[in-house]
Structure 1
């Protein structure tokens, strides 16, 4: 069964997933950003089948996320090096790391994120313009200038409030006084400065 292409959905998240949403892709990029470059290193680190790794590496090179470089002429051998485009994905990988640590991993972690001094880091996302965390800024999506009618309908603020109210009420007792939004009710705001 053929899957739908995400890059036609008019959404930056869907477009990004078209590039990096395939099985194994972010783990390959994680390793490339950590300095692993050779086919056998990726294969050993990930336990990925060689044919699958070949397809993923080819796709990552075609999308500009890895650069394929020859490091041996006889026999011909290539390495796969992170590009600027993939280095800009490191914050996404760190966000997945933080979420996994918060919601899945146990206290005895096999991997921790540290700064240059070896101090453990607890990453959060902040708005570059204001310095506030995304939770504090209560960011949300709005339709952009090139939005289709369908996207404008989807991002309509009155309908969003109705959806969130409906979602917040699921599982609550009638007339309960629970807040409709938590401090984690956050999304990214694509237009800094707009409210």
Structure 2
């Protein structure tokens, strides 16, 4: 069965999920942030099948989140190094971790704690307004068509209703 592609949907969540594709991809990226760079290290840390890991690493390289850097010539072997695009994904992982810590941690508490070296405190990720720095909540945010929204879709009745509902129910927190 062929997987539906979301790569060209007018939605950054759908496009990101298209890139991720499955649960292994964010875990490979997580391991990259822990300093894992080599194929065998990824495989050992994750317990992932070789063919699956080959596929995920290839996709992350093709999508520009990881870069292959040779460290040996005979035979050729590579480190997989986070690019700027890959390093920027840390914020997504941190947000997922915060949600998981709140809703999925057992009674002992979160399995991992983030420590902010700059201020010396343990912390967690928060989504804040880039302008006023106040926390963003679904109840206080509306979704509007951005400049990249396809004009041919903007006039479809279901799309018009979706965004009109956002305008009339601002603060309901019900739209994704």
When the two structures are superposed, what TM-score results if normalisation uses the length of structure 1? Answer: 0.76
Deviations 1:9-51 (A, max 9, x none): 2111111112123230111111112211011111111111111
Is the 1:141–1:155 contact (alpha carbons within 8 Å) kept by the matching residues of 2?
A: no
Cα 1:139–1:130 change in 2 (3 A) is same
2:163 equivalent to 1:156: yes
For these two proteins, the number of residue pairs brought into alignment is: 169
1:111: which partner in 2?
Answer: 112
Residue 154 (structure 1) shift: 5.1
2:93: which partner in 1?
Answer: 93
1:61: which partner in 2?
Answer: 61
Is the 2:142–2:167 contact (alpha carbons within 8 Å) kept by the matching residues of 1?
A: no
Bigger-Rg structure (1/2): 1
Deviations 1:158-189 (A, max 9, x none): 37767x9xxxxxxxxxxxxxxx94xxx3878x
Deviations 1:54-75 (A, max 9, x none): 0000011000010011101122
Residue 112 (structure 1) shift: 1.2
1:39: which partner in 2?
Answer: 39
1:72: which partner in 2?
Answer: 72
Distance 1:61 1:136 in 2: 33
Deviations 1:105-163 (A, max 9, x none): 1242331111116531032110111111102871121122434134732532237767x
1:122: which partner in 2?
Answer: 124
Is the 1:140–1:186 contact (alpha carbons within 8 Å) kept by the matching residues of 2?
A: no
Q: CA RMSD in A?
A: 2.6
Distance 1:187 1:115 in 2: 32
Distance 1:92 1:13 in 2: 11
Distance 2:138 2:3 in 1: 37
The 10-residue stretch of structure 1 (140-149 or 60-69) with the greater mean CA deviation from structure 2: 140-149
1:20: which partner in 2?
Answer: 20
Cα 1:186–1:32 change in 2 (3 A) is farther
**Unpaired stretches in structure 1, ≥5 consecutive residues:** 165-179, 189-195
